[in-house]
Structure formats: C-alpha cells, structure tokens
Structure 1
Amino acid sequence: MPCLVDTRSKISHGDELITSVPDKKDSLCQQDDQSQGGDTSTSSGPDLPEDIWCLVHSLMPLCDSAHSACVSRTFLRSWRCHPKLIFTEETLGLKQTEARDFTSRVNQILKNHSDTGVKILKFVIDDHNNVNTCHLNSWLQKAVTPGIEKITLFLPWRSREEYNFPCSILLDGRGNSIWYLDLTNCAFRPMVGFDCLRSLTKLRLYGVCITGDELGRLISNCFALEELQVWCCMELICLTIPFWLQRLSCLTVSECDMLRVIESTAPNLTTLDFFGEPVQLVLRESSKVKDLKVGYSYKPNAVSYAITKLPSIAPHLQTLAIYSSSEKVNTPMVADKFLAIKHLNIHLGEDDDDAVTPTYDYLSLASFLDACPVLESFTLSVDQSDMQHDSVFGDPSLALRQILPHKHERLKKVQIIGFCSAKSMVELTCDILKNATSLESLTLDCIYGAGTGAISDSVRCGPSRSGKCWIRSRAMILEAHKAVGAIKRYILERVPPAVKLNVGGPCSRCQAMDVMLP
C-alpha cells in the first residue's frame, strides 16, 4: 500500500506502536505480521478487541486506512479485507501530473488486499489516467466478490464504445448481494439468461451502450429494484418496464436521443422524470404516477403537449413540472382535467438560442390553472435572456384583457420568476389575483435565475470575484426596472390585504445604470 505521506509520526492503539517505517514513496508495506520491518515497540493503549479496531479502520478514508496499515500490524491485517475500495486521484493522493501512476498504485493496493470483504468498490478514471482495459478487467475480477454491495465505475467519454463491462464477474452469486450499480461511459452486454442482481435497488446508467433488449435482460430479475436512472444511452429505442418490478417507484430517463417509446406496467411507479426528444409515453397499470417532470431538448410546445395529452396518460398526478425550450403556440383550453394536481411548475424558454416566441400569450396559461381544480401552488419561470414582447407600457389606450369568470379556489401560493413587463404576463397576474380566492402569497421576481423566492441581495445576486453583478446583460437590468414599474402601476393596487406580496427587483449593485457588465 503506498505510504502517500510521511508516516514517521507515531500511531498508537491497543495492538502496538510502530515508531519508524520507511518513508519511501510508493512503499507497499508488504510484510506480514510476523515479518514487518522497522523498529517497533509496544505501548499500552485502549484495550479493545481487534474487531473494534477493524471497524474503526473500515470507517477511515482510503488514504488514512492505507497510512495506518503501514504502521500497524492490526490495521495491516484489517486492510487485507478492507470493505471500501474507492479509487480516485484524490484518494490515491495523485496530482494530474502523476496520472500515469494511477495503474501502478491500484495494482499495488489490490496486491495486498485479499479476495474477500469488499463491500464498496468505486473507480473514477479520467481520460488522462490512460488505464488499459486489461488492467481494469483484472481489478474488477479481483474486487467483485460475494458480499459486495455497491459498484461505481466512471470512465472517460471515449470509453463508452471501447470498454465492455465484463458481465461474467456478476455470475456465480457474486452479483446477488449488489444493491447499488452505477456505470458511466461503457458498454453493458448481458447475455441471454443473465440471472443476477436480485438485491439491486438502485441502477444508474450514464452514457452506457445498451439496447432495450439488453436492458430488459439486466433488470429481468431485479425484483428489489426501486430506482432506475438512464442517461445518454444512445442505443435505446424502446424502454419497457415490466410489471413484476413491484418495488420500482422512481424512473429517470434523460437525453436518450434514439428513444421512441417508454412503456411501463410497473404497478407502483410514482415518480417519473423525462428529458429529451418527444416519445410515446405508455404508463398502463402505472397510473399511480404522482410526480412527473417532462422536458423536451429541442422540440417546442411542451406546455401544450402536457395539457392535451397527460390527463389521460397520468390521471393521478399530484405534482407536474414542465420544461419547455420554447412555446410557439398559446396554451389551449381543454375539457380534460388534472383532478389531483396540487403543485404545478412551468419553466419557459431556458434555451438561449430559442427563447419564448414574442407572440406567446402568457394569459393563455390561465387555461392550465383551470384544468387543475385542486391546485395549491403555481410557479412560472421565464428566461429573460432574449426577452421580446409587447410591453404593457406600449399603447396606453389598450386596456388589460379579462377572460371569462372562473375560480382557482384552492390556489394559495404563486411565484413568477423572471416577471417582465409583457402585457400578457401582467394580465395573467391580475387574473390570478382576481380569481384565486384563497391566495396567501404572491412572489414576483424580476430577475430570472436568482433563485425561487430569494429576494434579498445577499442571496439572489451576490457579487462575483470581479466585483461585477452576475446578471448577464444590461438589457436584463433595463427589463427588470420596467417590470418593477409594471408591478407598481398595474398590480400593487389589486393585491388583496390578506395576500403577502414579495417583489424582487434589480439588486443593489444593479440599481446604478453604469454598473459594469460583460
């Protein structure tokens, strides 16, 4: 085991005290407890059983565990079945200039470790570490033994098609104790009849080359699976979640560009997060889904899709978050209702290259509120990076529009982050104030991205190292000033006495218009 720091300092415990060991870099402390070198002397310390010292040793960070094994026979014996093997540049004491030493140090560590006792195994290998595939296979073969519980493998992006995870190491009972598996940037090709991972409760695949059939084999016997995350898996076309995954409650699918269908019959799926290209979503028996986040990478009109399609797909939703890069059409009125939604979050125009169209009518979002009869909280976030709209100050002869009478009887909390002087946004706010008869608080934050409800300068807009405000453009400051003016002129007098109004304008550093901005 590498002695990564000067180990001449004394370490004392109930076994013995070693006062002198070699401080040569990368010395391995390979001696067994009968032949360990150095001048040693015993010292009376706490008289604790060896298994207690082994427990203490297992709780140390890897680097400290290695150091203590270099100077203590008890800890050296403990090291040989150390339960946590976490190999990163930090735990190995490596700097980027020493990246070539990654392989040699891992080899040295595993050479002194027995083939038993590993509970947690983690490899974080960066591109500059230049680890050979054969070495990685041998490390996994040695460390993945019966009783292992957590495996994390993080490889550089180039490895996603170059490295095939050796599925065979999970056979013969070695994979049945694993409850956490996290793979990044590799290929995973389970063979037909792959029957392991029966204890797996959390599976995370990021940048993994795996087809829908192969993923089906992987999870076919994961009866304990509770959480599945699939990110940037470009070979997935159809993702099918079988009904026998009785415990699966959380599914995340993000940026799988070739994916066309997500079909689930898992009966207890309650949380679904989806981000990427539009797909066909078939939930069937998974109608218990209560929390849904949906966002499209490039396609517009996610809000319109949600209000027209989701009531029948997920009728029991209680929390819905929609992320739309842009809305090209106004939100339509619909007959179907979200009968259970209590919390609605809509994020518009977060893609700087495709902001909300200037013709989008924010007042049309009132139809979404109408479709949620038990709604209690509503948050609207609008990116102001390329704000274009018809200002409420544009034509003073045009009165604010009002839509047909309707009530949001249970709506208590409303936040608009990125509130602007768009006439239709002012109209939406006035409509909420008029029809939300149970409203308790209204937050209008004129700075997008400052944080939900973070109104104070110290929280929402702290200075950077350069002394400049973080706001991205002078136009953003100008719009924030106009938005504050719109609040004072059109909204303030409409706020009922029982409603708490919170207004977030430009921070104190932005109040002076000559503030320096990039």
Structure 2
Amino acid sequence: MPMKESARAACVSRIFFQSWRHYPSLILTKKTLGFKQNTCAKGDIEALTYKVDQILKNHSGAAVKTLELDIFHCRDLDPCLLNNWLRISITPGTENVTLSLPKRYKEEYTFPCSRLFGGSGNSSIEYLHLTNCALRPTDHLGCLRSLTELYLREVCITGEELECLLSNSHALTELELVLCNEIICLKVPCVLERLSCLVVSDCSMLQMIESKAPNLSSINLEGDLVQLSLGQSLQVKSLDMDCSTGSNFLSYAITKLPYIVPNVETPTLSSISEMVNTPMVPATFHHLKSLEIYLDGDLSARYDYLSLISFFDSSPVLETFSLHRSQPQALEIERLGELPGGRQICQGANQTSPKSVMIFGFCSAKSMVELTCHILEYATSLGCIILDVVFDEYDEDDIGRCSVNPARKAGECCRLTNEMILEANKGLMAIERYIARKVPSAVKVRSSWAV
C-alpha cells in the first residue's frame, strides 16, 4: 500500500479505535460474537473467552450505557470470568443490563449485587434482565433509585429477598417474574407508587400475591391459581389470567374478581378445565368493556355454553365479547333437533348489549347454538358477529391462516385433522340451519373455516 494510503488508513483506524473505546453499547451475544453452533465445545469456550476479553480490554468501560451478555450454551464457563467481565463492563453510568446464562448456572452462580450500585450506594441502572442465576439482595446494599424495569426469569430469589429489592426501587414501573420458584409470597410494597405493570408466570411455589402499589393498572398472571390481595386495586384496568391447573376457573372469575379488581375494563380469562356451568351471581363488573375467554383444555361433555351469558348479565357496559374454544367435541349435529324458541334463562337487570361478538372454534353443540341465538335476540346494539369454526391460535381476528402471521413460515397454514374438519363442517351446518336466519339485517356476520 502506498505511503499516502497507509497514513490515511492508520488515521482512520486511530479515530475508529478511539470511537470504539467510548461506544455506549456492548451487545455480546451468540450472533454478535460469530458463534453458529447450538453447543459450546471446549474450543468455543476458549474462543468466547478470548473474544470477550479482547473486547472489554480495548473498551474504556467508562461510557457503557447498555450491556447485554448472553452466554447461550457455554455451560462450563468459569464463574470467576463472569464476575470479572461484569466488574469491567458495569460502571456507575451503566443504565441497561441483560445477563442470560445456561440453566446449570441457576443454582451455581449468584449475580454480584454490588455491581448494581455505585460508590455512593445509589445506582444508575434503569433496566435489569436476569436469566438463570441467583440473586441475593440485602438491605445494606443501597438504593436502585433509577430502576424502572425489572425482569427475572428462572432466578433463585426468595419472597423476602425480592421484597427487599423492591423496597429500594421506588422508580419501578414494570415487574416481570417467570419461573422464579423460590417465591412463596410475593409482596409488592406501597413505596412503588409508579408501578403500573405486574407479570407473574409459572412460579410453581407461589401461593399468594399481596400488592399495595397504588397505581398498578395491568396484571398478567399465568400458572396455578393463587390468593390475591390487592388492597389498592382501584387502578387495575387490564387483567390477563391463565389458570394452567385446576378446574372451573370461570366460576372463580365471575364470583371473586368483581371484588378483587372492581374497575377492570379488559380482562382475558383462560381455563383448561370447566366441569361445571358458569353460575349466575349478583356481583357486577361495573367498568368491563372487552372480555376474552379462552377454553384451552378439556370441557365436561355437559358444559353449558349458554351459561356464559352470566358474564353479559354481570357487565352492564360490555362492548366486545370473544370466546376461543380450542378442542373439538365431536358432537353430532343431528342431536340438536329443533330450537323453536331456545331455552329461557333468568336475566338480570344489568344484562348488556355488546357491539361485537367473536366465537373462534364454534361447534355444533346445542348450548353453543343457543348462546349465539340468545346473543342475536337480545343484543340490540350488536353490529358484528364472527363465527369461526376452527380455532387457530396464530390468527384469530383476520381469518387468514397461511403466511400472514410472522409466527409461521411462509405459506404454512393451520393444520387440520380429520376430526377438526368433520367438526368444522358440522359447525357450518349448524350456523346455516339455526343461526343464519336469526341474524338481523343490520348485523354483519362472518363464518369461515378456510382461507
């Protein structure tokens, strides 16, 4: 290379090197480090160690705002190396920290809490996301004055330790706990005045959630049904509950939730087993506007879909109702017989008239037809009803099941078994025979099972 070009290259290299030393983001992941294999052999561990050491050695560390360290499949990495990397890269000015480790580290590696705090006992960290490690905070460590988002996935931390951490994180707005199986009682202290979103998923030992956060507005719970004590729950507008064990969750929801979250507006309720019909109760969801119900598991052969009218009667301002039924029941349409007027059910004074109704996984069960006919008869404000005889978890709203959804590969469609196709055809026959003629002219109706 001529001297002139060499000098230019050297100048550019020095400028780039100085710029790199103060680059604010360190994203050290499988992709950015150039690893393509799903396993991490001895040579890969050595390569990983060398690459990360060189990156941190050549970086000043002083300007790191974001650290993302994903060790992916390297299960035999020395924990001392991890501590050293965190010591170098997490500085008093660091704002975002993400650490993802293999499962074996869950009980073998304890995240150094001292790295979260500056010399003054305070911290500049705003976002903390830890996966597969232990976290053991204590009172004397200091205050996470800037922390707004905390995500713990498969992290070993007790309820008392978490409460200690939360009590020193007054700016927290979002808290997510996934598979944190040492927590028995989750206590959210009243000092979290900014906390608006709480997500708790599959924490197997959890028995109770007690929240005193005054402005909590969104709750997402998945797993075993736990005792809820939401002393100041007036701000809870969005509620998503997925009960993965037990049965008759809908009965619990309609009898208990009006008192636990009295101002909820958009609940989503998922049940895997309903063995009894949904009861009629005097409780009222005074502010409920949009209700989604997922029946994802086994239903009693005698389950009465018409009993879901209980939610209509309990929700005087309901605007949108969605029912998602995932399992075919293999019912014979011939068993329906004639439905001259349908069953008469006791209606309360609060029964509402939704504007939009959607049923995904519509079947030929007599009570399903009765539910639909009842809605058409009494929902005087109804503007649109969608009856889809196939439940498709990836595409429920647009009824276009092939390549439109990013969760699928291009051209991949919903797989239909012979049983699903048979039940879908029965559902369409039931719609044509019993429902189509009852649809008011002003109501838009759509029924489908294919693109």
Q: How does the TM-score come out when normalised to structure 2?
A: 0.92
Separation in 2, partners of 1:129, 1:276: 29
Partner of 2:419 in structure 1?
A: 475
Cα offset for 1:486? Answer: 0.6
Separation in 1, partners of 2:4, 2:161: 54
Change (3 A) 1:201 1:377: same
The alignment partner of 1:479 has SS state of helix
Change (3 A) 1:39 1:479: same
Structure 1: gaps of 5 or more residues: 1-18, 21-36, 44-68, 508-518
Change (3 A) 1:398 1:375: closer
Does the alignment pair 1:412 with 2:377?
A: no
Separation in 1, partners of 2:319, 2:120: 50
Bigger Cα Rg: 1
Query: Percent identity among equivalent residues?
Result: 47
Separation in 2, partners of 1:432, 1:326: 24
Partner of 1:4 in structure 2?
A: none
Structure 2: gaps of 5 or more residues: none
Partner of 1:74 in structure 2?
A: 15
Does the alignment pair 1:217 with 2:164?
A: yes
Cα offset for 1:99? Answer: 3.1
Cα offset for 1:404? Answer: 3.5
Question: Which residue identity is paired with 1:99?
Answer: D
Partner of 2:76 in structure 1?
A: 130
Question: Which residue identity is paired with 1:357?
Answer: S
Separation in 2, partners of 1:461, 1:80: 41
Are the counterparts in 1 of residues 339 and 434 from structure 2 also a CA contact under 8 Å?
A: no
Does the alignment pair 1:99 with 2:44?
A: yes
Query: CA offsets per residue over residues 475-509 of structure 1, 9 Å max, x none?
Result: 001111111111111110111111100111234xx
Are the counterparts in 2 of residues 126 and 156 from structure 1 also a CA contact under 8 Å?
A: yes
The one of 370, 377, 402 equivalent to 2:344 is 402
Correspondence list, 1:335-350, <5 A: 335-348=282-295, 350=296
Cα offset for 1:455? Answer: 2.5
Change (3 A) 1:290 1:388: same
Query: Which has more strand, going by share of residues?
Result: 2
Partner of 2:222 in structure 1?
A: 275
Change (3 A) 1:418 1:147: same
Separation in 2, partners of 1:447, 1:460: 17
Does the alignment pair 1:453 with 2:394?
A: no
Separation in 1, partners of 2:44, 2:373: 60
Deviates more, 1:228-237 or 1:155-164: 155-164
The alignment partner of 1:72 has SS state of helix
Partner of 1:258 in structure 2?
A: 205
Query: CA offsets per residue over residues 306-349 of structure 1, 9 Å max, x none?
Result: 0010111110111111010111111000001000000100000x
Does the alignment pair 1:357 with 2:289?
A: no
Question: Which residue identity is paired with 2:372?
Answer: T
Correspondence list, 1:21-100, <5 A: 40-42=6-8, 72-96=13-37, 99-100=44-45
The alignment partner of 2:134 has SS state of coil
The one of 51, 54, 60 equivalent to 1:114 is 60
The alignment partner of 1:140 has SS state of helix
Cα offset for 1:410? Answer: 4.0
Cα offset for 1:156? Answer: 1.1
Does the alignment pair 1:313 with 2:231?
A: no
Question: Which residue identity is paired with 1:149?
Answer: E
Does the alignment pair 1:180 with 2:124?
A: no
CA RMSD of aligned residues (A): 2.5
Cα offset for 1:189? Answer: 0.3
Are the counterparts in 1 of residues 132 and 153 from structure 2 also a CA contact under 8 Å?
A: yes
Which structure has more relative contact order (CA 8 Å, sep 6+)? It is 2
Separation in 1, partners of 2:343, 2:333: 11
The one of 334, 337, 351 equivalent to 1:393 is 334
Cα offset for 1:405? Answer: 5.0
Change (3 A) 1:321 1:457: closer
Question: Which residue identity is paired with 2:98?
Answer: T
Q: How does the TM-score come out when normalised to structure 1?
A: 0.80
Aligned residues: 441
The one of 296, 300, 318 equivalent to 1:375 is 318
Does the alignment pair 1:300 with 2:247?
A: yes
Does the alignment pair 1:240 with 2:187?
A: yes
The one of 366, 372, 375 equivalent to 1:423 is 366
Question: Which residue identity is paired with 2:28?
Answer: F
Are the counterparts in 1 of residues 197 and 218 from structure 2 also a CA contact under 8 Å?
A: yes
Question: Which residue identity is paired with 1:367?
Answer: S
Does the alignment pair 1:150 with 2:96?
A: yes
Cα offset for 1:466? Answer: 11
Query: CA offsets per residue over residues 155-176 of structure 1, 9 Å max, x none?
Result: 1122111110011112324861
